[in-house]
Structures are given as C-alpha cells and as structure tokens.
C-alpha cells in the first residue's frame, strides 16, 4: 500500500511531503498528489471559514485514494493512501 504524508500550514500551503510510492510514474504521482492536496486544502479552509476551528480530523474517499487530515497547533498533517497504485486513474 502506497502513501504520501504531507505537512501543510494552517492556510493549506504544502510545507513538505514524503512518500513510498515508487511504482507509479512521476506524472501520475504528481497529478494524484495535486488532487489530494486540493481536496485537503478545500476541507481545511471550509472548516476555518465555518468557524469550526476545533475539528481535529477529517477523511475524504475517492476512487483512487483516501485523504485523512489531522490538525494540531503546528499545522495540518495529511495522509494520502492510494487504493491501488497500479491502476490509479489520471
């Protein structure tokens, strides 16, 4: 099972990431990473704009991956788990 661990600040900007996805083409990896980060950013900003600053975690599932967002005082940690690295669509 492949994953990406993304560290984001409180405004949804990517600070750093690490991954173990090595079987996927670089193009496909970046497309899926961008989709996952966009979903996480929308979720983070939506909770902030709704005044729900005390939420600690949220999950989103798509056909290709699942995204789990965890918040703390230092920012956001986003875990993206690919459902099937070999057949992920782009």
pLDDT tens per residue, range 48-71 = 888 876 778 889 999 989 999 998
Residue 10 lies in a domain: yes
Residue 88 lies in a domain: no
Domain that holds residue 37: 2-82
- pLDDT: which is higher, 51 or 6: 6
Q: What is the pLDDT at residue 52? A: 75
As a whole number of angstroms, the distance between CA 89 and CA 75 comes to 30
3-state helix, strand, coil in the chain (%, to 5): 30, 35, 35
Indicate which CATH number applies to the domain containing 44. 3.30.450.30
Q: What is the pLDDT at residue 2? A: 86
Residue 89 lies in a domain: no
As a whole number of angstroms, the distance between CA 66 and CA 83 comes to 7
Residue 90 lies in a domain: no
Residue 25 lies in a domain: yes
Mean pLDDT of 84-90: 53
Q: Does the global pTM surpass 0.75?
A: yes
Number of domains in the chain: 1
Q: What is the pLDDT at residue 8? A: 92
Beta strands in the chain, from DSSP E residues, in sequence order: 3-8, 14-19, 57-61, 65-72, 75-82
Residue 55 lies in a domain: yes
Structural Rg of the chain based on CA atoms: 13
């Amino acid at each position: 099972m492949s994953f990406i661990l993304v560290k984001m600040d409180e405004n949804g900007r990517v600070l750093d990431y690490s991954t173990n996805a090595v079987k996927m083409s670089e193009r496909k990896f970046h497309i899926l990473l961008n989709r996952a980060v966009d979903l996480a950013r929308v979720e983070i900003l939506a909770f902030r704009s709704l005044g729900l600053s005390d939420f600690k975690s949220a999950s989103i599932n798509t056909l290709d991956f699942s995204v789990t967002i965890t918040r703390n005082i230092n920012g956001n940690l986003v875990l993206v788990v690919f459902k099937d690295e070999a057949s992920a669509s782009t």
